[in-house]
Amino acid sequence: MKNDSAVALDALLARAADALRKAKRVCVLTGAGISAESGIPTFRDALTGLWANFNPEDLATPEAFERDPKFVWDWYEFRRELIRQAEPNPGHFALAELAGRVPRFTLVTQNVDGLHQRAGSKGVLEYHGNILRDRCCVEQVIAERSEDSRHGLPRCAACGGLLRPDVVWFGEAIPPGPMLAAAAAAESCDVFLSIGTSSLVYPAASLAESALRAGATVIEVNPDRTDLSPAADVVLGGPSGLLLPRLLDALS
């Protein structure tokens, strides 16, 4: 026999599935939590998070990079290696499958790890860039590394300028393409899913707020409560690698 909390979770999954069944447009926002079960640490976990021993301003800002590019690059190279060795988990695969089950589907990710694409998701809007690409600080374009930069700091093959990871740091603008497409999807969706994000970082966190204002059903998937939880219509409390496949099952 199922205990009370299992019955309550079944009822929440049924409500979420019902909203998805009726939806014409679905918008999904994912954060670091969806990749946690692939072995990639989240940012804000006090013990295991990527910033557990650092101040974010010492690592993820243009000022930090200007001050000490080697220190910042070392952190990114360490994370790139972790990401290259990681595999998408059932949460990523469930979202790739969900795309085929609803008429219009937009997947916005704050993650820079490319795991949604590796799970088969198409047209992913990379809100905070992609850690595996290099960008030239001089030309501001995606760039190849020069041959002779294997030992020191990575340099652009075309102009010799310093390279940086193609991600969005604090104080930097979101790339306009993903930003506009994500805003349009959030404002026009019937169902908005917020998965594995602490909902603390803006403007990404404002997407759920836009969806709420526009009258969408907002579903949150997260083992912990967030600032979004009180406003969400359905809160599925648990890991996305477990709950998203169950949501798909409830849909069929």
Please give the positions annotated as active site.
128
CA dist 55 and 118 (Å) reads: 30
**Segment near ligand BJW (CB under 6 A); pick from 42-50, 80-88, 151-159, 182-190:** 42-50
Distances, alpha carbon 123 to alpha carbons 23, 63, 117, 233, 252, in Å? 19, 32, 8, 27, 24
CA dist 183 and 93 (Å) reads: 24
CA dist 170 and 43 (Å) reads: 13
CA dist 157 and 159 (Å) reads: 6
Nearest to 221 by CA among 17, 21, 38, 4: 17
**201 binding ligand BJW? (CB under 6 A):** yes
Which CB, 124 or 137, lies closer to Zn ion?
Answer: 137
**139 binding Zn ion? (CB under 5 A):** yes
For the CB of residue 62, give the shortest distance to ligand BJW in the complex, in Å: 10
User: Six-digit token pair at 123?
Assistant: 């047209």
For the CB of residue 176, give the shortest distance to ligand BJW in the complex, in Å: 10
**171 binding ligand BJW? (CB under 6 A):** yes
Residue 156 contacts which entry, ligand BJW, Zn ion, none (Cβ below 5-8 A, type-dependent): Zn ion
**36 binding ligand BJW? (CB under 6 A):** yes
Residue 68 identity (one-letter amino acid): D
Among 11, 158, 180, 231, binds Zn ion (CB under 5 A): 158
Residue 37 contacts which entry, ligand BJW, Zn ion, none (Cβ below 5-8 A, type-dependent): ligand BJW
Binding mask 114-133 for ligand BJW (x = CB under 6 A): --------------x--x--
Binders of ligand BJW among residues 56 to 85 (CB under 6 A) are 60
Distances, alpha carbon 54 to alpha carbons 36, 166, 221, in Å? 19, 21, 27
**161 binding Zn ion? (CB under 5 A):** yes
H or E segment and range at residue 125: strand 125-126
CB atoms within 10 A of CB 45: 16
Among 9, 159, 212, 251, binds Zn ion (CB under 5 A): 159
Which CB, 23 or 136, lies closer to Zn ion?
Answer: 136
CA dist 249 and 252 (Å) reads: 5
Q: Which residues bind Zn ion (CB under 5 A)?
A: 136, 138-139, 156, 158-159, 161
Positions that interact with ligand BJW (CB under 6 A): 31-34, 36-37, 42-44, 49, 60, 110, 112, 128, 131, 167-173, 196-198, 200-203, 221-224, 226, 239-241
